[in-house]
Structure 1
Amino acid sequence: MLNKEQLLSYGDIEVKELLLDLLLKGLEAVDPYKAVKRVISRDNKSIKFVDKTLHVHGKIYVLGLGKASCSMAKAIEEILGDLIEDGLVVTKYGYSIPLENIRIIEAGHPIPDNNSLKAGVEAFELLKKVYENDLLIVLISGGGSALLEYPADNISLDDLIKTNDLLIKSGASIHEINIVRKHISRIKGGGIVKHCKGIILSLIVSDVVGDRVEDIASGPTSADTSSFIDAYRILKNYGLWNKVPMSIRKYISKGLKGEAEETLKELPNRVYNVIIASNEIACKTIYEEALRRGYRAYILTTTLEGEAKDTALAIGSIIQEIYRFNRPFNKPVILIAGGETTVTIHGEHGMGGPNQEFALSTSRKIAGLHGTAVLAIDTDGTDGPTDAAGGLVDSYSLNKLLNAGIDVEEALHRHDAYNALKKINSLVITGPTMTNVNSLYIIGILGLST
């Protein structure tokens, strides 16, 4: 699955191999199938999770949304078996796996498509079947916001697509993007809770910085603290208010006047939201594995945010300080971070994603620091609209780029990190990982001679 041989074809091979091994450990720790199995168990018709037990007197239904939903659903089917009355999961194209009885719809991500709307209609039909004594198990993971959609009012798919595209390219954070999404949707911002009469148990794989439940897949089973005013301000602040379609402006304007229903503001006590896998868990596992192998290790942050190429320069400066002066940490050392950086697109652009751009930008700072490498990946295996998960660069990468005729500054300016890294065998290709806990950044500063 991992293109390890290609990545280890040049440069600081020992440190790069170590980072790839640590990555696989981290991904294993947030495998959604295993996470569900760890958290959920069955005792006849009772469902046990964490330190609670739900005694189910009615039927059990399953609704999944997100890139990890099929793996989660497979585990639920194995645990609950014939107790499941009906179920539906919606996942990204290419991310489905065979299930026994739960239906699967593949849909578009990061931009919703017709199948996203189809899934929304089928999800609402499923919710109508759930009565007071029934249990709805909701399986939530990253990507669910685009994959499952039921627009508010008369908002069309084309209008949703245009709005999503403008938001993604604006440089807005995922938290800001989701605030707007929640206020033009019937599903997001607690919409599932509003339209379901039964008990709800949500098992959540978090892909959001800080693990705020209301932000994960735009919080379909969570209370929401944002408002139409916030959605309006975000569109204004990023210069998008006059660019989004008229139907979006009309609906948000109705909300500002109190003529459209707000998102869910208070969570009923019949709803349980449980985070079963997160970026923090992945980072902690990588940290523990590095220690087990005899290295110093530090988690710098699990909330890394900012423009990818600029954040990379800041991290690169820390790497230089450690390499040259052994401060704030002595080398050899492994540094770990998690979070989600962004890329702001202006005009025509090439191919890439935030993690590829992070890696390419970092190559400028670590050139010549032998025994140093930086790995940046999106844990779902897809960084931006590409087939790459991210990039892996070392102290030789910049020189290889220059020898290949790549102008790194121009590639960053054009957001064409994919083609630059591809030229030097530095794209990380994992294929679908069936999980999604945001981005991981693993840095090795060993100071080895190669």
Structure 2
Amino acid sequence: MTNWDDTRARAALQRMFEAAVRSADPHTILKDHLPEVPTGRVVVVGAGKSAAVMAAALEEAWPAVPMQGLVVTRYGHAVQTARIEVIEASHPVPDAAGERAAARILDSVQGLTTDDLVIALISGGGSALMPLAAEGLTLADKQAVNRALLACGATINEMNIVRRHLSAIKGGRLAAAAHPARVVTLAISDVPGDDPAAIASGPTVPDPSSFHDARAIVARYSIDLPAPVRAHLDAAEDESPKPGDPRLARAEYRMIATPLMALQAAAREAEALGLTPLILGDALEGEACEAGTLLAGIARSVAAHGQPLRAPAVLLSGGETTVTLGGAQGAGGRNGETLLGLAVSLAGHPGIWALMADTDGIDGSESNAGAVVAPNTLASSRGAGIDPIAALMAHRSHDVFQAVGDLVVTGPTLTNVNDFRAVIVGDLAGPA
């Protein structure tokens, strides 16, 4: 058995993260999920951080098939395409470019026939990128709601229930507008549980939630809504299409990449590196700092007792934690905060390293994907003049990892299967 040192552990963490991201590359996976070419038109629509690269992969897979349409992606995520137009817009707070793109997407599926095919390319971020407000609401209303949702501590599923009930395109409305054409959605999941209704707020699938559910979430988190938004939710008119709606009878949903698939790819890489992997789950939620404390406790159990598995091992998990700012400005994202919570709980425990990052390449408010923790992280932070516990309380994890030089910077990966977390517990007893 080979002892795990800092260099080896960091390299292993990087390789596992890269394997997870690579498993969700549309250029390699999308072609295996395409339907047969229709006798009628092919109209392509889409939204999300991966929408542009998915469009490029579709063009590669069907080089001789006439197609038209447009997709909207985040600023900086566009790629070159020949037949499908790519538009960039703002995320996570929507802007006018996204609003215009959503209106054009909705218009592009009108007037189709049963011979036509709509391919919807859906990935994480699509909800904010298609901010087409319901009648009577404005983009400013949607922006205010988005900011409030991002700061209140609601889960991504809860956020999307509210969003679906303020939208003219989400919650199955896009597929309903395309009726009677066949609609095939190719989706990359970024949400815990892979619920199609939650990915980009489900523009092509039935919405099982209701206005009542949306109002309950607003009340639960005491969200301050603009008056027109509150009036819209109270009126509860124009409910979203529900399961069994005949307009969605020809809508199919194909999941081409998921958080679990990414974790399984990382697990295979771990085994090749001499680590025993344990996938704790692909849908871990809750407050980021508390999740970090929980993961630290499991890592300490592995180190001290060989439970639930023996070192050298790696604990893998995915999902989406929550950072409740409570009025703080913050600097960093949920992965940085989870990671700093783990580091504070470990208190410099020897032989434990971790990497946590968003697979889309951007963690929260800064430009890094995530960061790395090592046994010396807290000491290095204090040596740089930053109190890591104070930084954690102020939601400023970015300050710590920037100061110690342990930010993970990838740039946009052009895919998104939610957060990736890996905690290595090395062979603390040294070589056998």
TM-score by length of 2: 0.95
Other structure's SS at 1:83 match: coil
Deviation at residue 149 of structure 1 after TM alignment: 2.1
| Structure 1 contact 283–338 (Cα < 8 Å) conserved | yes
> C-alpha distance in 2, partners of 1:84/1:414?
53
> C-alpha distance in 1, partners of 2:9/2:345?
17
Percent identity over paired residues:
35
State the one-letter code of the partner of 2:412. Answer: P
Asked if 1:443 corresponds to 2:412, the answer is no
What 5-or-longer segments of structure 2 have no aligned partner?
none
| Structure 1 contact 320–365 (Cα < 8 Å) conserved | no
Partner in structure 2 of residue 142 of structure 1: 124
State the one-letter code of the partner of 2:69. Answer: G
Deviation at residue 162 of structure 1 after TM alignment: 0.6
State the one-letter code of the partner of 2:380. Answer: K
Partner in structure 1 of residue 201 of structure 2: 218
Other structure's SS at 2:279 match: strand
Deviation at residue 38 of structure 1 after TM alignment: 3.0
**How many pairs are equivalent?**
423
State the one-letter code of the partner of 1:125. Answer: D
What are the Cα deviations for residues 391-440 of structure 1, in whole angstroms up to 9, with x where unaligned?
A: 11011101111111211221112111111210001111110001000001
Partner in structure 1 of residue 135 of structure 2: 153
Other structure's SS at 2:178 match: coil
Partner in structure 2 of residue 193 of structure 1: 175
> C-alpha distance in 1, partners of 2:205/2:367?
32
| Structure 1 contact 323–369 (Cα < 8 Å) conserved | no
Partner in structure 2 of residue 348 of structure 1: 328
> C-alpha distance in 1, partners of 2:105/2:152?
30
What 5-or-longer segments of structure 1 have no aligned partner?
1-10, 41-46, 48-53
Partner in structure 2 of residue 106 of structure 1: 88
Other structure's SS at 1:289 match: helix
State the one-letter code of the partner of 2:141. Answer: D
What are the Cα deviations for residues 300-340 of structure 1, in whole angstroms up to 9, with x where unaligned?
A: 11111110011100110111121122222211111111111
**CA RMSD after TM alignment:** 1.6
Other structure's SS at 1:38 match: helix
> C-alpha distance in 1, partners of 2:209/2:329?
33
| Structure 1 contact 367–396 (Cα < 8 Å) conserved | no
1:251 pairs, out of 220, 223, 232, with: 232
Partner in structure 2 of residue 202 of structure 1: 185
Asked if 1:72 corresponds to 2:54, the answer is yes
Alignment of 1:163-182 (within 5 A): 163-182=145-164
> C-alpha distance in 1, partners of 2:396/2:380?
16
State the one-letter code of the partner of 2:62. Answer: L
| Structure 1 contact 61–84 (Cα < 8 Å) conserved | no
Asked if 1:393 corresponds to 2:373, the answer is yes
State the one-letter code of the partner of 1:264. Answer: K
Asked if 1:279 corresponds to 2:272, the answer is no
| Structure 1 contact 169–344 (Cα < 8 Å) conserved | yes
> C-alpha distance in 2, partners of 1:32/1:246?
41
Partner in structure 2 of residue 433 of structure 1: 413
Deviation at residue 76 of structure 1 after TM alignment: 0.8
| Structure 1 contact 183–263 (Cα < 8 Å) conserved | no
TM-score by length of 1: 0.91
Deviation at residue 281 of structure 1 after TM alignment: 0.3
Deviation at residue 129 of structure 1 after TM alignment: 4.7
Asked if 1:300 corresponds to 2:280, the answer is yes
